[in-house]
Amino acid sequence: MPNVEYRGMNLIIPDNDSEWREYFKLARSHRLMLRACASCRLMRYPPSHGCPWCGSLEWSWREVSGRGHIYSYEIVVHAIQPGFKEWTPYAVILVELDEQRGEPSEHEGLRLIANLVTPEFRPEKEDNVAIGKRVRVVFQDLSDDFALPQFTLTDEPPVGRVWRLPA
């Protein structure tokens, strides 16, 4: 897979990193695909060869809706990468997807880390970020065979009581 540039940084996925290479390639078709265990049927993220719940090495890719809610977040105020300096402050969110919520136990779910962006792929305003708000995946195409899944807010009712971390 060729190197791609995102905000002045080279994103390099080595040829021998089959999990991530395939994940980003599938994202280019604007479908959020996760690995699903052939034995226990549970999906997992990040993509890995072995199932973390039953240990099976048999799996397949399964498409998910890309809809969920903000489970947690962090506001980045000091950009480590120069390409993000003009974005600060910006939100990095932990999204709990609608699929597989409460499985395999009541406190688990499918959770992904991503940037929270506007539909124009600009950072969402800090005041709009809150736990419980609904989000959906959007795909930022970076090359002919690579897209970066990110999330944007929706108008759907929140999950539970919406709250923000104290300033």
Tokens coding 45 = 């993220």
pLDDT 10s digits, 7-47: 888 888 888 888 898 999 999 999 999 999 999 999 999 99
Rounded mean pLDDT, 91-118? 95
Quickly state the pLDDT bin for 2 (edges 50, 70, 90): low
d(CA 146, CA 141): 6
Res 118 pLDDT > 60: yes
Q: Give me the sign of the Cα torsion angle 111, 114, 120, 125.
A: positive
Q: What is the pLDDT of residue 61?
A: 97
